[in-house]
Amino acid sequence: MSELLLELEGGKSVSAQPGQKPIDFLPEGKEVGANGVLSSLLDGAIWDLHRPLISGGKLTFIGFDSPEGKFVYWHSAAHLMAHAIKELWPESQLAIGPPIADGFYYDIDSPHVFSQEDFPAIEEKMREIAKRNLPLVRKDLKEDAALSLFRGMGEMYKIELINDLNEDLTVYEQGNFVDLCRGPHLDRTSRIKHFKILSVAGAYWRGDEKNKMLQRLYATAYPTKEMLDEHLHRLEEAAKRDHRKLGKQLDLFSFHGESPGAVFFHPRGQIIWDEITRYWRDKHAQFGYKEIRTPFLMNEELWHKSGHYEHYRENMYFSEVDEQSYALKPMNCPGHCLIFGTHQVSYRDLPLKLCELGTVHRYEKSGVLHGLFRVRVFTQDDAHIFVTPEQIEEEVGKVVKFIFDMYRDFGFEEFRVELSTRPESRVGSDEVWDKAESALANALKQLGVEYKINPGDGAFYGPKIDFHIKDAIGRTWQCGTVQCDFSMPARFDLEYVGADGQRHTPVMLHRALLGSMERFIGILIENYAGDLPLWLSPEQIRILPVSDKTIEYAAKVTDDLKSKGIRASLDDRNEKLGFKIRDGELNKIPYMAVIGPKEAESEQLSLRRRKEGDLGSMSVAETTERLLNEIRTRTTH
């Protein structure tokens, strides 16, 4: 092999001799370690520090502060955990153990049933193996050699993977532990410093319900104890904010086996839904959208025409009506295309903005259903904007501004933006995809919005911009999206008459701001830990009479507040005031008004704000104005 040309950090170019490794080019002042360099990138691809170079390119070094560094760290920690389990329970068989967001897991087939009581022993064994300072050695194997190796070890799941891959393979060794793996990994086990096994759950082998149920151990690892403790604190805080727990506690919604994956909203939860809907409709009218409604059930031929049948049928529900096949809509776009096609459209009518709070049905496996976050029936705050090619960038820019505006109204100030490009399975020519991807990128650049490229994650019909919001405890959630589609309008033969008098095919912008209504409500509940802003609170103020003698005046105050559109309630239970206040706090009521003999006589009330305490005595008019102003301005806290 001839010399390889490397471009190092700072732009310096050097030649690498055959057999040299990235570690040979580590810059002066940088050290390999948990708090330093963990791996390298060769032209953006992760490359083990001790793996011989086989090509030239740009060589950079990465630590835990990069996404790639975390990937390597957690991937190696997964091997460490599997190694520990094999030493403690040698009869266990290993399946797969990838890194995931904030940690890693490993799927195990073992006669031993793992529980939380086993976690300390596994962690202790992991510490012991880490201290052995074992090198992680990458080895290339031919398929036959790999099969022979894992047959000898009795690892049947690895054998199945090898047979399916049908290619030359790699394994990683650390001491006497060997695992089938593409890598990349850390150079030594001692780099893995602080870790915690979090939970154990069931997982079907390869995600198929027909296969055996394995045991999945979830864990995480960090270079410092402080980082691990901070992560564990976030997990504890997230558990307190779990929308499923708060939904039950606050009587917002429930789930029932009679309709798996569907939400039953209770009266208090419906109020939150209605307030978001009212706000959504007002904003869309302000931005020039026209609201429509399309049917749930449509003929199967429609889904062939749109491309959904080919690319999405495994997630769709089908039924036969009058000896014809129909499907519950998984998306709203084909129905919007049908409405566009009912009129002759001029270029003067464009952009045409059609919006719908459209309920869709998508099949999800029962094992992945998760509260409001993963359901089978949900409502998208959907819209489709039909534009001329020349209008794409301007209209995408308007959608981006609309999204940021809406998120801020709900109290979210930090966002991350990703541009997702063409997937392997897609409709449309490369030329069309080039145009669509360029249009979205240019719109973001013109607005000065920073974004990250997410290769291959676009929709099957077009590239998309995804918007991620950061919540109160630092988690990010993907909500809004805007997608550029040149293909579907052509599939539906949609046309508009241009300024030249000729017929042209419009471009279709798919767009959702909140994403799923159900999921967004779940995000709001967790972001605010159930303590929603006043304008969204199902119960905005609770009136607390001190005794039977003040109930009449308290009832009058309650009625006065209700007449002004404030959601007020009267707690006239025969309970002590302290009990009523504690109950109001537990139910996260934003305001409480205490009415004793003095308040009744002076026709005032003593106002309390949740988390702030006593605000003093004031009139009903002053209280009304305070609450209405907070509601009007959609004040968040």
550-566, pLDDT tens digit by residue? 999 999 999 999 999 99
Return the structure tokens found at 344.
């002759």
Do residues 47 and 58 touch, judged by C-beta distance below 8 A?
no
Rounding to the nearest 10 degrees, give the CA dihedral for residues 463, 464, 465, 467. -150
Is 1 a residue whose pLDDT tops 70? no
Lowest mean per-residue pLDDT among 8-12, 217-221, 253-257, 262-266: 8-12
Do residues 96 and 205 touch, judged by C-beta distance below 8 A?
no
Question: pLDDT tens across 219-241, in order?
Answer: 999 999 999 999 999 999 999 99
Rounding to the nearest 10 degrees, give the CA dihedral for residues 159, 160, 162, 164. 160
Q: What is the mean pLDDT of residues 119-145?
A: 96
Q: Are residues 82 and 182 in the same domain?
A: yes
Confidence of residue 17 (pLDDT cuts 50, 70, 90): confident
Q: What is the mean pLDDT of residues 607-634?
A: 94
> Annotated catalytic, 229?
no
Q: What is the pLDDT of residue 70?
A: 96
* Choice among 308, 329, 510, 542 that is catalytic: 510
∠ CA 378-380-383, nearest 5°, is 160
Whole-number Å distance between alpha carbons of 277 and 518: 12
Q: What is the mean pLDDT of residues 502-522?
A: 95
Inside any domain, residue 248: no
> Annotated catalytic, 510?
yes
Q: Are residues 501 and 406 in the same domain?
A: yes
Whole-number Å distance between alpha carbons of 178 and 150: 9
> Annotated catalytic, 324?
no
Do residues 272 and 372 touch, judged by C-beta distance below 8 A?
no
pLDDT: is 432 or 584 the higher one? 584
Whole-number Å distance between alpha carbons of 199 and 220: 10
Q: Are residues 376 and 507 in the same domain?
A: yes
Task: State residue 583 phi and psi, 5-degree precision.
Answer: -65, -40
CA distances for 524 relative to 313, 375, 536, angstroms: 31, 17, 10
Q: What is the pLDDT of residue 473?
A: 87
Q: What is the 3-state secondary structure (H, E, C) of 130-171?
A: HHCCCECEEEEECHHHHHHHHHHHCCHHHHHHHHHHCCCEEE
Is 635 a residue whose pLDDT tops 90? no
Mean pLDDT of the chain: 93
Inside any domain, residue 627: yes
Q: Residue 77 maps to which CATH number?
A: 3.30.980.10
Strand extents, DSSP E, 300-393: 318-321, 324-328, 352-361, 377-387
Question: In DSSP terms, which residues pair with 417 in a beta bridge?
Answer: 467
With a pLDDT cut of 90, the percent of the chain lying above it is 80
> Annotated catalytic, 343?
no
Do residues 141 and 166 touch, judged by C-beta distance below 8 A?
no
Q: Are residues 226 and 365 in the same domain?
A: no
Inside any domain, residue 254: no
Q: Are residues 219 and 345 in the same domain?
A: no
Is 356 a residue whose pLDDT tops 70? yes
Q: Are residues 315 and 202 in the same domain?
A: no
Do residues 395 and 351 touch, judged by C-beta distance below 8 A?
yes
Q: What is the pLDDT of residue 474?
A: 86
∠ CA 80-84-90, nearest 5°, is 130
236 Cβ partners below 8 Å, 6+ apart?
none
Task: State residue 509 phi and psi, 5-degree precision.
Answer: -100, 115
Question: pLDDT tens across 157-208, in order?
Answer: 999 999 998 777 999 999 999 999 999 999 999 999 999 999 999 999 988 8
Lowest mean per-residue pLDDT among 251-265, 299-313, 345-359: 299-313
Q: Are residues 346 and 220 in the same domain?
A: no
* Choice among 362, 435, 504, 609 that is catalytic: 362
Do residues 544 and 536 touch, judged by C-beta distance below 8 A?
no
Q: Given 459, 494, 526, which residue is the final one in a domain?
A: 526
51 Cβ partners below 8 Å, 6+ apart?
21, 22, 138, 183, 184
> Annotated catalytic, 164?
no
Q: Are residues 46 and 152 in the same domain?
A: no
> Annotated catalytic, 284?
no
Whole-number Å distance between alpha carbons of 545 and 533: 25
Inside any domain, residue 249: no
Q: What is the mean pLDDT of residues 298-303?
A: 94
Q: Are residues 306 and 169 in the same domain?
A: no
Residue 250: other Cβ atoms inside 10 A = 23
Q: Residue 542 maps to which CATH number?
A: 3.40.50.800
Q: Are residues 322 and 389 in the same domain?
A: yes
Inside any domain, residue 266: no
Q: What is the pLDDT of residue 50?
A: 95
Q: Given 31, 47, 63, which residue is the final one in a domain?
A: 63
Helices (H) then strands (E): counts for the chain: 18, 33
Task: State residue 376 phi and psi, 5-degree precision.
Answer: -100, -20
Return the structure tokens found at 224.
């410092």
Task: State residue 264 phi and psi, 5-degree precision.
Answer: -105, 105
Q: What is the pLDDT of residue 432?
A: 80
Q: Are residues 502 and 381 in the same domain?
A: yes
142 is in which domain, residue-wise?
A: 68-240
- Strand pairing class (318-321; 253-254): unpaired
Inside any domain, residue 246: no
Whole-number Å distance between alpha carbons of 234 and 302: 46
Q: Residue 24 maps to which CATH number?
A: 3.10.20.30
Residue 486: other Cβ atoms inside 10 A = 23
Q: What is the pLDDT of residue 517?
A: 96
Q: Are residues 497 and 380 in the same domain?
A: yes
Whole-number Å distance between alpha carbons of 181 and 173: 10
Q: What is the pLDDT of residue 250?
A: 97
* Choice among 179, 381, 382, 466 that is catalytic: 382
Inside any domain, residue 185: yes
Is 254 a residue whose pLDDT tops 80? yes
> Annotated catalytic, 249?
no
Do residues 80 and 126 touch, judged by C-beta distance below 8 A?
yes
The total number of structural domains that make up the chain: 4
Q: Given 189, 218, 240, which residue is the final one in a domain?
A: 240
CA distances for 43 relative to 53, 376, 423, 559, angstroms: 12, 41, 22, 69
* Choice among 187, 193, 333, 542 that is catalytic: 333
Q: What is the pLDDT of residue 578?
A: 93
Q: Residue 401 maps to which CATH number?
A: 3.30.930.10
* Choice among 158, 231, 284, 384 that is catalytic: 384
* Choice among 50, 191, 193, 464 that is catalytic: 464
Whole-number Å distance between alpha carbons of 127 and 190: 9
Inside any domain, residue 259: no
Q: What is the mean pLDDT of residues 596-617?
A: 92
